[in-house]
């Protein structure tokens, strides 16, 4: 049939997933897709749903454009990223089993019961579209599993509370991660907002190499980093056409979770899509707060130049605003009520990562006051100075963290020295880029240092259980992303 187009649906071992269907003539009656084990046939209606979706790869990132109704956006997402979503689910299943000793099916059954009723209709429709899109690509997944997958970060908070109730195991505070700052006014070179953020997590969970350009039917356009298959960001770096920019850092040593509240991933997505101001964004995040994935949010309005820090504990919340100054995040609570009453953190122990990085942030903000711009933001996020040893030393205490290099117990990621964890990206934005719905990002360590999983596992066999999903990351350049960008031209 002359009008049929064959697109190979590939997996994460080097086979390429389906790319953009934008521009395909809707007169085609069928789109034949080669899927694992069998052929899947897409109807003209499903072809039309995919027509506005687009995917291309750029310096280690997957750029994903989604547009239309909630269900159509989900279908585009599920189909175009089917194999990446499947890989993310496989990694989460294995990590959950290792972390808790419980099977993934158990946690899906246990937690979807209270999570699903709190997911709003638009997000549910998008999840249902994800299910349909993955099925069209030849992969089966359920609505409950995708809901729990989206709630991955807050599950550790729920699990620690469960262990307290049942007496099973010793409760441990969820890990700390991410280094971020936001500055405005006299702190920056041009007086506008500058925001920088890097994600610190286990390298086995280094899955957030997706930049989503989301155009909903209602609400604001969003350009954000995210995990494949997530409705929210997870790493929580975003720009919206309302002039809002944002990022967060986890509140370290935090304990508490309210299963009756609204999941964090639901509130983050609703706030980012629906809010037209900092007031609205913070109000949405505070309403129904469940304590899951407790964060200090660094936010900016590039229209007014105002910045904010919203610390969301469970019992206590602190919201601050500045027209001139800065906020930083390094996983240590700033609000004394949250710090003393909701965390186990010692804010004076500079041997620990969070305190050392807080000390470093304060020094950098003072040292470069009045000069902060995108170039310095990139430099900050790639910084390797260790305030405890008072020298450049890549490890767990540097802003660009490398726990895999750290033999010190105090600076180590939970699990001990040499844990394969640390910074696996860097993102920066200023008022000029944000007004263009754009930001600059680097996949892999913010400093550009590559990670070779094979060599690492050979040197540290205690982490052999990660071999199936601990991936190497080559050095990548800083890359500019814009809303509405097209695939790079073929040579």
pTM summary value:
0.91
Candidates 166, 176, 169, 162; CA nearest to 114 is 162
Q: What is residue 430's DSSP assignment?
A: E
Q: What is the pLDDT of residue 187?
A: 98
What residues does each domain of the chain span? Answer: 50-491
pLDDT greater than 70 at residue 319? yes
pLDDT value, residue 7: 27
Q: Please, which pLDDT band fits residue 20 given cuts at 50, 70 and 90? A: very low
36: left (phi over 0), alpha (psi -120 to 50) or beta: beta
Evaluate whether the domain defined by 50-491 bears CATH number 3.60.60.30: yes
Above 50 in pLDDT, residue 202? Answer: yes
Question: Among all chains, which residue has been given the structure tokens 């390094």?
Answer: 330
What is residue 40's predicted lDDT score, i.e. its pLDDT? Answer: 63
Residue 19's pLDDT band (boundaries 50, 70, 90)? very low
| Residue scoring higher pLDDT (490 or 404) | 404
| pLDDT, mean of residues 137-151 | 97
User: What pLDDT, on the 0 to 100 scale, is given for residue 32?
Assistant: 33
Residue 12 has pLDDT above 80, yes or no: no
pLDDT for res 205? 78
Tens digits of residue pLDDT in 73-118: 999 999 999 999 999 999 999 999 998 899 999 999 999 999 999 9
Q: What is the pLDDT of residue 167?
A: 79
Closest C-alpha among 161, 137, 159, 149 to residue 105? 149
Confidence of residue 488 (pLDDT cuts 50, 70, 90): confident
In the prediction, which pLDDT does 216 show?
A: 98
The Cα–Cα gap between 209 and 228 comes to 8
Q: What is the pLDDT of residue 117?
A: 98
Buried residues in 208-220 as b, exposed as e (16+ CB within 10 A): bbbbbbbbbeebb
Q: What's the whole-number mean pLDDT along residues 59-66?
A: 98
Mean pLDDT in residue range 311-338? 98
Q: How far is CA 94 from each of CA 101, 107, 168, rounded to the nearest angstrom?
A: 10, 12, 20
Q: Mention every residue, 6+ apart, whose C-beta is less than 8 A from residue 475.
A: 444, 448, 449, 450
Would you place residue 413 in the very low, low, confident or very high pLDDT band (cuts 50, 70, 90)? confident
Q: What is the pLDDT of residue 382?
A: 98
Quickly state the pLDDT bin for 284 (edges 50, 70, 90). Answer: very high
Strand partners, 421: 202
pLDDT above 70 (res 28) = no
- Of the candidates 328, 233, 327, the one whose C-alpha atom is nearest the C-alpha of residue 271 is 233
Instruction: Give the model's confidence band at 166: pLDDT under 50 very low, under 70 low, under 90 confident, else very high.
Output: confident
How far is the first Cα of the chain from the last one, in angstroms, to the nearest whole number?
A: 29
Please say if the pLDDT value at position 11 is more than 50.
no
Q: If you average pLDDT over every residue of the chain, what do you get?
A: 90
Q: What does the pLDDT average to over 225-229? A: 97
Mean pLDDT, residues 422-444 taken together: 98
**pLDDT single digits (tens) 329-367:** 999 999 999 999 999 999 999 999 999 999 999 999 999
Predicted pLDDT of residue 252: 93
């Amino acid at each position: 049939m002359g009008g049929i187009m064959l697109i190979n649906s590939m997996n994460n071992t080097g086979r390429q997933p389906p790319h953009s269907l934008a521009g395909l003539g809707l007169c085609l009656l069928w789109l034949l897709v080669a899927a694992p084990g069998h052929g899947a046939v897409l109807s003209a209606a499903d072809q039309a749903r995919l027509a506005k979706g687009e995917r291309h790869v750029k310096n280690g990132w997957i750029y994903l454009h989604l547009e239309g109704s909630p269900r159509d956006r989900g279908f585009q997402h599920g189909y175009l990223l089917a194999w990446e979503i499947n890989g993310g689910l496989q990694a989460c299943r294995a990590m959950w089993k290792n972390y808790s000793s419980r099977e993934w099916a158990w946690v899906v059954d246990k937690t979807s019961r209270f999570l699903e009723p709190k997911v709003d209709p638009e997000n549910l429709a998008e999840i249902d579209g994800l299910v349909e899109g993955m099925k069209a690509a030849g992969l089966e997944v359920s609505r409950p599993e995708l809901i729990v997958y989206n709630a991955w970060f807050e599950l550790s908070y729920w699990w620690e509370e469960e262990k307290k109730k049942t007496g099973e195991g010793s409760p441990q505070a969820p890990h700390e991660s991410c280094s971020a700052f936001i500055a405005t006014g006299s702190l920056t070179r041009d007086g506008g907002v500058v925001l920088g953020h890097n994600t610190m997590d286990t390298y086995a969970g280094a899955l957030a190499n997706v930049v989503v350009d989301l155009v909903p039917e209602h609400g604001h356009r969003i350009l954000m980093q995210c995990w494949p298959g997530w409705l929210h960001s997870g790493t929580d770096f975003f720009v919206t056409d309302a002039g809002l920019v944002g990022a967060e850092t986890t509140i370290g040593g935090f304990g508490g979770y309210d299963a009756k509240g609204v999941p964090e991933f639901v509130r983050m997505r609703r706030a980012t899509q629906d809010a037209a101001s900092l007031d609205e964004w913070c109000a949405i995040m505070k309403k129904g707060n469940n304590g899951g994935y407790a964060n200090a949010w660094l936010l900016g309005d590039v229209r007014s130049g105002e910045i904010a820090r919203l610390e969301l504990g469970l019992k206590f919340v602190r919201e601050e605003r500045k027209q001139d100054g800065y906020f930083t995040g390094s996983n240590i609570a700033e609000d004394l009520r949250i710090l003393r009453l909701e965390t186990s953190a010692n804010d004076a122990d500079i041997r620990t990562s969070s305190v050392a990085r807080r000390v470093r942030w304060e020094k950098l903000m003072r040292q470069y006051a009045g000069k902060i711009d995108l170039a310095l933001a990139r430099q900050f996020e790639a910084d390797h100075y260790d305030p405890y040893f008072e020298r450049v030393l890549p490890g767990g205490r540097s802003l660009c963290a490398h726990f895999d290099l750290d033999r010190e117990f105090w600076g180590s990621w939970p699990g001990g020295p040499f844990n394969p964890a640390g910074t696996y990206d860097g993102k920066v934005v200023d008022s000029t880029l944000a007004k263009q719905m754009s930001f600059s990002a680097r996949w892999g360590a913010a400093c550009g240092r590559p990670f070779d999983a094979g060599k690492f596992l050979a040197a540290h066999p205690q982490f052999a259980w990660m071999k199936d999903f601990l991936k190497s990351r080559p050095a990548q350049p800083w890359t500019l992303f814009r809303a509405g960008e097209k695939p790079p031209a073929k040579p």
